[in-house]
A and B are shown apart, each in its own frame.
Chain A
Amino acid sequence: MGELTTIGFNVGQSILHRLDPRTKQVLMMGLSLVSVWGGLAFMSVLTLTLAMLFYAVNLNILRLLREIRYFLFLLVFVVIVRAVSLDSRWMPVVSSSAAADGLLIAWRLLMVVAMGILLMATTRIAHIRAALAWYMKPIPLVDEKMAATMVGLVVRFVPVILFQAFEISDAQRARGIERRKNPLFRLMTFSIPLFRRVFLCADELTTAMQARCYSEQRTLPDLAFGRQDALATLTGALLCLTALIP
């Protein structure tokens, strides 16, 4: 189990680790929304900022890229779909402006995922859950604790699913799955055991939580919005302003 996925909480003392989870969540949501219409200047500043934060958090970028390689393939697919069109004779034509648009879309998606990875790497699930419960408390007809628990469990399960996927992939490669060229066959033989193991894991986790008296009325972590959070929010707001630069 030593080779676990890097996507998940890592103990540390970086600036991001010390921030209130509510600050991190609101920054992530705000920057993700602004990135939808942010131009080159905003995206460049955001990328630079995230690169510095990745360095500060001490995440292994190369290993991380390897772990999200299937998502990267998807981004390449997005760029190709945007860039390539068919002319009147049904011949493929590559448009440079459409390719640039596709690259910008892929860049935005990558940054949103990068922010999610940073949030997960620097915030305990209990803190993510407590912050979500705090945000959802004023919303009528929503059981904020239940909703926050569900989101928290999803976050808890992402590394488990990735770990199971790598295990199954390795086990199938050890038995020569590469020799089977039919992608449908490979997809079936990969996805069925993956779903089975993920559901079994979910069942085991539920039993373990029940055995330890899991309930909605838990002691939640103490959340404190401090000076560092105010500074981070201000920095995030300034970063958002760069989206106004044409």
Chain B
Amino acid sequence: MSIIQISHLSHCFADGSTGLSDVNLTLNEGDFTVIAGANGSGKTTLLRHLNGLLVAQSGSVTVCGRTVKQDPMAARRQVGMVFQDADSQIVGETVYDDVAFGPENLAIARPEIDRRVSRALAAVDLCGFENKRPHHLSGGEKRRLAIAGVLAMAPRVLLMDEPFSNLDFPATVRVLAQIIELHRSGHTIVITTHDLEKVIAHAQRLVVMAGGSVVKDGSPAEIIEGIEDYGIRQPCSVQLGKGIRPWAS
């Protein structure tokens, strides 16, 4: 069942450059999709259209049957976005405050907010961090906090913009394990990246973008060949002729 439909979506920036050009995509509920592309290919611009941070200039984006342009708040309830820079997403003075920020905006009663915060922190393995200052957390912990802040709003779709950027190996492994777990628990996951290595083995679908357009779309195994033409490095296992293999055991 489709949960997000993008049809003929185009976007121009204020300086006249093209952000997106006639993008058509349908994302299905429960899917794990990776959107890959070089810097400036339009990945982040596309994600920002999916939860109403940008409004379609031409074409349309529909989330759960409702047009994002008409009701961006409804789209944001269904589609949570984790930003590339976790620091820019942190708005609370403590971990609890930050995770509670979204549910408070939804005007949920305080006991339910407390329950959601506990559940979200447990889901990303940050129990016991409630009273810590977010800016004192490590890079990996901040990224997991950003995910918890979105999970507390109970969205059906999780968008993650370059979730592994600036993380060391252990933090990357941990964030990856949690993304896989979230997918198993029924969330629809959409990840943008220019580094396929870490995540491609777990994705069901790979969308390649270049110059604001979708240039390839299919299962990773089918379209991974020749992907370097679009400025994306092939995973090592593919380069060694072993096909797509999980990055970490």
| Chain A contact residues, CB within 8 Å of chain B | 1-2, 4, 8-11, 124-126, 156, 201, 204-205, 207-215, 217-220, 222
CA A218 to CA B109, docked complex, whole Å = 10
Cβ 8 A contact of A11, one of B81, B89, B94, B150: B94
B94 and A124 contacting across the interface, CB-CB below 8 Å: yes
Q: A1-B136, A213-B153, A222-B110 are in contact. Are A208 and B93 (CB under 8 A)?
A: no
Alpha-carbon gap, A8 to B113, bound state (A): 24
Task: Given A212-B102, A217-B107, decide whether A205 and B88 contact each other with a Cβ distance below 8 A.
Answer: yes
Report the separation of the CA atoms of residues A224 and B95 in the bound assembly, to the nearest whole angstrom: 23
Is B105 engaged at the interface, CB distance under 8 Å to the other chain? yes
Q: Is the interface of A mostly helix, strand, loop or mixed?
A: loop
A219–B94 contact, CB under 8 A? no
How many Cβ-Cβ contacts under 8 Å join chain A to chain B? 83
Question: Shortest beta-carbon distance, B4 to chain A, in Å?
Answer: 16
B133 within 8 A of A: yes
The answer to whether B106 touches A125, judged by C-beta atoms less than 8 angstroms apart, is no
Give every chain A residue within 8 A of B87 (Cβ-Cβ).
1
Contacts of B173 in A (CB 8 A): none
Contact in complex: A211, B105 (CB < 8 Å)? no
Residues 35-60 of chain B, each 1 if its beta carbon lies under 8 Å from chain A, else 0:
00000000000000001110000000
Name the CB-closest residue of B to A204: B88
A212, B133: Cβ atoms under 8 Å?
no
Contact of A211 among B81, B104, B107 (CB under 8 A): B81
Given contacts A4-B135, A124-B97, A218-B104, whether A209 and B91 have CB atoms under 8 Å apart is yes
With known contacts A124-B97, A219-B108, A211–B113 Cβ distance under 8 A: no
Residue contact A205 to B94, C-beta cutoff 8 Å: no
